[in-house]
Structure 1
Amino acid sequence: MLAPGSSPKPRTRLALQWKQISWLTYWLVLCAAEALPACPFSCSCDSRSLEVDCSGLGLTVVPPDVPAATRTLLLQNNRLSSLPSWAFANLSSLQRLDLSNNFLDRLPRAVFADLANLTELQLRNNSLRALDPELLRHLPRLRHLDLSLNGLARLPPGLFDGLPALRSLSLRTNRLQSLDRLTFEPLASLQLLQVGDNPWECDCHLRDFKHWLEWFSYRGGRLDQLACTLPKELRGKDMRVVPMEMFNYCSQLEDEDSSAGLEVPGPPCTKASLEPAKPKPGPEPEPEPSTACPQKQRPRPVSVRRAIGTVIIAGVVCGIVCIMMVVAAAYGCIYASLMAKYHRELKKRQPLMGDPEGEHEDQKQISSVA
């Protein structure tokens, strides 16, 4: 029973307001659940930064239910050995992808085809031996690329043609022996290049890349170190400080190759052609001209010490010649000034020709002597 003076209207009004608030909260939660996609199993997601962290989970495949709005996807420290071409097909908003510390040995050509907004790609410490020339062709906004700690022995031509915005590139600790200048020329925005810990062969194949490095350093680019492994004369030396005189023999090789290309091609030189033919029974045949393959000696670059010694000797000789020229000029000036002074004194002492007083004094001197 209601107490005297009490009314049921305030309670009814409060109940209606509470019901409305409950329904509104329910709809808000339902809308939020529909707006925020589910996070992949065992991964951690951040709805503010749109980051999906699946690192260190021992994954062998990429989770198929990664939200389409993801901007950062971390997959490092897993067991990924291969990727299907559709692994990141629905992640057009992805900006950062980390695949470091996995077992990837190959990458399909179109695996990054849909990542047009990607700005950072980490492929550090995998087992990559080769890369497809079209692998990075569809990443125009890529700024940071890390390919270090892999087994890359060469970079295919055109690999970096679609990366006009690339700023930093790491190729450390691979098996690279030489690089092609044309491969790096499209990287107009490159600021940092890391190529250390590779078995570089500082020969003719690396000469053009040395020219590109000089241009790269001239425009402010930073390089860690390009230490030569071969030849022995240059082992441990930075390629940038090797004098260009060391590559003079490359032009000779090019001339020899061009002249050899004009010759009439003969039969291929094989091991069998080096073996003498067995004599046939009968009269001894006439000796035929030798068709053995000529053994070309591999030209070796000039010693670094000899090149540096030549520069030092030339500088010393030029300095001595300059000093001798300065001394000769000074001696000439001093001699000229002394001769001029001597002639002035001589003119003061000797009277002018035709002076009677001078003749009279001369006669006095002669008579006194007599």
Structure 2
Amino acid sequence: MHSLSPAFHLPVLGCWLSLCAAESFFACPSSCKCNSGNLEVDCSGLGLSSIPSGIPTNTRTFLFLNNKLSILPGAVFSNLSALQRLDLSNNFLDQLPQNIFSDLGNLTELQLRNNSIRALDKDLLQHTALLRQLDLSINGLAQIPSGIFDDLPALRSLSLRSNRLQSLDRVTFEPLTSLQQLQVGDNPWECDCNLRDFKHWMEWFSYRGGKIDQLACTLPKELKGKDMRMVPMEMFNYCSQLDDENSSTVLDNTGPPCTKGSPTPSKSKSGPETEVEPSVGCPQKQRYRPVSVRRAIGTVIIAGVVCGIVCIMMVVAAAYGCIYASLMAKYHRELKKRQPLMGDTEGEHEEQKQISSVA
């Protein structure tokens, strides 16, 4: 039996080495599931409290759902520059380091749903310009920092549902020129002057074809349960007055800043200690509240009724004037036909009597 020639062994050895290199290049972390075809690493539902080491550098999808992750080290994703999809939903994250996503320049989808995140740094997404989908729903966010979306021109879908948001600033959302879908429901929205400008942005966003779910008001009680987009703009007329008063207050306040307490100057070291008394120069600002919806609608109805009555009265007066003018013209025509010859004083007296009786 003839042995195989060395020329045959070389291609087989090359294929075997390349296969081993490919397998080692996409080595799967222990207890995780990996798919070398689409370069996906799935470590979901394993009860893990930290990101496992040994994730291949060419991974495009990393799934880490339903675990016990509470802390993310700052450089945990530093070697995953090819990552496109990252899902950390259903964990216990309460904060995110400022530069946690700084090395993920190819990231297009970021899922942070159902965590305990209470605050976001404005530079958190500074290096993720290709991001298209962002889910921050079911967290503890009380505000969205201005400037956090400035570097996301490709973002199409954003979810802020089920947080603790009470107001939003339209300046924060104006850089999202590609946004198509926004979810803001299930938040304790306070529909006051702080939300007025965002209402304008929502109307513009809907006008250009964007989809947004219901933004139901929680406060004030007159608007509870109503969609902010359906609230008449007349409800916020008081905001202009509030802005004018605030601006005049800033111009008039040339003295020291107002404080809750002002200590009285000390008399001497041997004297009694000074006590802090409340300052009388800090009057409590009255809180403006929007007018009632019923009152606004009632004002419109009353104004319409008054205008209608005035119009009817003008029409009746015009008709009466026309009728009176036609009767007088007819009377003068008949009077000319019956007018006696010139010099008949008796006819003239009779004409004057008839005119006076008609008047």
Q: What band does the TM-score fall into relative to the shorter chain?
A: 0.7 to 0.9
Is 1:88 aligned to 2:77, yes or no? yes
- Alpha carbons 1:273, 1:292 under 8 Å: kept: no
Residue 360 of structure 1 corresponds to none
Secondary structure at 1:45 match in 2? strand
Residue 4 of structure 2 corresponds to 16
Residue 270 of structure 1 corresponds to 260
Secondary structure at 1:67 match in 2? coil
Deviation at 1:137, TM superposition (A): 0.7
Deviation at 1:316, TM superposition (A): 3.0
**Match for 2:174 among 185, 194, 202?**
185
**Match for 1:248 among 223, 228, 237?**
237
Amino acid of the residue matched to residue 178 of structure 1? S
**Whole-angstrom distance in 2 between the partners of 1:148 and 1:233:** 27
Residue 268 of structure 2 corresponds to none
Return 206-215 or 23-32, whichever deviates more. 23-32
Amino acid of the residue matched to residue 315 of structure 1? G
Report the RMSD for the aligned CA atoms in angstroms.
3.0
**Which aligned pairs between 1:74-113 and structure 2 lie closer than 5 A?**
74-113=63-102
Residue 306 of structure 1 corresponds to 295
Gaps of 5+ in 2: 265-278, 342-359
Is 1:148 aligned to 2:137, yes or no? yes
- Percent sequence identity is 68
Amino acid of the residue matched to residue 254 of structure 2? V
**Which aligned pairs between 1:155-166 and structure 2 lie closer than 5 A?**
155-166=144-155
Is 1:42 aligned to 2:45, yes or no? no
Deviation at 1:198, TM superposition (A): 0.7
Is 1:205 aligned to 2:194, yes or no? yes
Secondary structure at 1:297 match in 2? coil
Is 1:216 aligned to 2:205, yes or no? yes
Q: TM-score normalized by structure 1?
A: 0.78
Question: Structure 1 residues 26 and 303, CA, compared in 2 at 3 Å: closer, same or farther?
Answer: same
- Alpha carbons 2:192, 2:289 under 8 Å: kept: no
Q: Deviations over 1:310-335 (max 9, x none)?
A: 11222333344445556666777788
**Match for 2:158 among 158, 169, 178?**
169
**Whole-angstrom distance in 1 between the partners of 2:84 and 2:308:** 61
**Whole-angstrom distance in 2 between the partners of 1:52 and 1:77:** 15
**Whole-angstrom distance in 1 between the partners of 2:317 and 2:197:** 46
Q: Deviations over 1:120-174 (max 9, x none)?
A: 0000001111111110011111010000000011111111011011111000011
Deviation at 1:222, TM superposition (A): 1.1
**Whole-angstrom distance in 2 between the partners of 1:25 and 1:317:** 97
**Whole-angstrom distance in 2 between the partners of 1:154 and 1:199:** 12
Q: Deviations over 1:249-290 (max 9, x none)?
A: 22222222222222332574435789xxxxxxxxxxxxxxx9
Deviation at 1:106, TM superposition (A): 1.1
Kindly tell me the number of residue pairs found equivalent between the two proteins.
324
Gaps of 5+ in 1: 1-10, 275-289, 355-370
**Whole-angstrom distance in 2 between the partners of 1:23 and 1:228:** 74
Residue 15 of structure 2 corresponds to 28
**Whole-angstrom distance in 2 between the partners of 1:69 and 1:291:** 66
Residue 214 of structure 2 corresponds to 225
**Whole-angstrom distance in 1 between the partners of 2:202 and 2:300:** 23
- Alpha carbons 2:133, 2:155 under 8 Å: kept: yes
**Match for 1:118 among 107, 113, 128?**
107
Secondary structure at 1:16 match in 2? coil
Secondary structure at 2:28 match in 1? coil
**Whole-angstrom distance in 1 between the partners of 2:194 and 2:38:** 46
Question: Structure 1 residues 350 and 226, CA, compared in 2 at 3 Å: closer, same or farther?
Answer: same
